[in-house]
Amino acid sequence: MQKIAPCLWFDGKAEEAARFYTSVFSDSRIATTMHYTDAGPGPKGDVLAVTFEIEGQEFMALNGGPQFTFTPAISLFVHCGSQEEIDRYWAKLTDGGTPWQCGWLQDRFGVSWQIAPDVLGEMLRDPDAAKASRVMAVMMKMVKLDIAQLEAAYRG
């Protein structure tokens, strides 16, 4: 068990969200499901929380009610090694969701994700400021990130 695990607050869709996320990522599973008891606060037998794992990271999906919603202030960053991986996650996570600028998206549950190639960080950290600047300028115009275009900007 991880010492720290993100808890995602849903309004009645915790189980649906956990099933969706574990369908998107191949190395994932639902670990446990907890139900409300007669002590409440939800109806006895309804899903209270689902613990699931994605790529070795534990998450909890909680049916907490309508009081809180997700914002882009917190996002889940997905490291991608190839364009195919970016394309696959992008297609699945934007299904019913909203694409945003610079590789960000909001899925159908309102959770924000960043789908980014690992090579992007390497290019942006390059000590050659001109290379990093060209990459940043191209990235800022993209929605879904395109490795070939980023690399072309890097090369100049």
pTM confidence score:
0.94
Beta bridge partners of 34: 49
One of 3.40.47.10, 3.10.180.10, 3.30.930.10, 3.40.920.10 is the CATH number of 70-156, namely 3.10.180.10
Tokens of 128: 């050659």
69-122 per-position pLDDT tens digit: 999 999 999 999 999 999 999 999 999 999 999 999 999 999 999 999 999 999
| Helical axes 83-94 vs 147-155, angle rounded to 10° | 130
* Cβ burial 55-93 (10 Å sphere, 16+ → b, else e): eeeebbbbbbeeeeebeeeebbebebeeeebbebbbebb
Cβ 124 vs Cβ 155: under 8 Å: no
Q: How confident is the prediction for the chain on average, in pLDDT?
A: 97
One of 3.30.70.1400, 3.30.720.100, 1.20.1080.10, 3.20.20.210 is the CATH number of 1-69, namely 3.30.720.100
Cβ 60 vs Cβ 39: under 8 Å: no
pLDDT of residue 40: 83
114-151 per-position pLDDT tens digit: 999 999 999 999 999 999 999 999 999 999 999 999 99
Give the integer Cα–Cα distance in Å for 16 and 26: 17
